[in-house]
Amino acid sequence: MTSTPGPTPASNLDPAVAARLKRGPDGLVPAIAQQHDTGEVLMLGWMDDEALHRTLTTGRCTYWSRSRQEYWAKGDTSGHIQRVVSVALDCDADTVLVKVDQTGAACHTGDRTCFDKDVLPLSAPR
């Protein structure tokens, strides 16, 4: 099932930034949230131009929910807010890294991160 980005066809995102973004067919880019002081990877969300604009201008991480088909600022319902410290694009401009100060759990399951429960075993020599 292919989802489409938000209801806002135009965004207030800086056109110079928008021109650099390499979006997927659905208009979205992956956004990695990382705790700014520890380097802990907290979660992965999705952003379109408007979600990135809101993140850059409000100081709170805003994502596009592919399942609910709406924008959501992290913490609006849970209180587990992500305050933005910095935002960077990767070298290909197809992924956003948002360094945040996370309040409470980042994962919808209530865990601190989305990546601490299902660690896969390595079989390759180290």
Q: Please give the annotated binding residues, written as ranges.
A: 90-92, 94, 107, 114
- Cα 72 to Cα 37: distance, rounded to the nearest angstrom: 24
Cβ atoms of 20 and 13 closer than 8 Å: no
Binding-site members for Mg(2+) are: 90, 92, 94
d(CA 60, CA 112): 18
3-state secondary structure string across 1-60 = CCCCCCCCCCCCCCHHHHHHCCCCCCCCEEEEEEECCCCCEEEEEEECHHHHHHHHHHCE
Q: Binding site residues for Zn(2+), as ranges?
A: 91, 107, 114
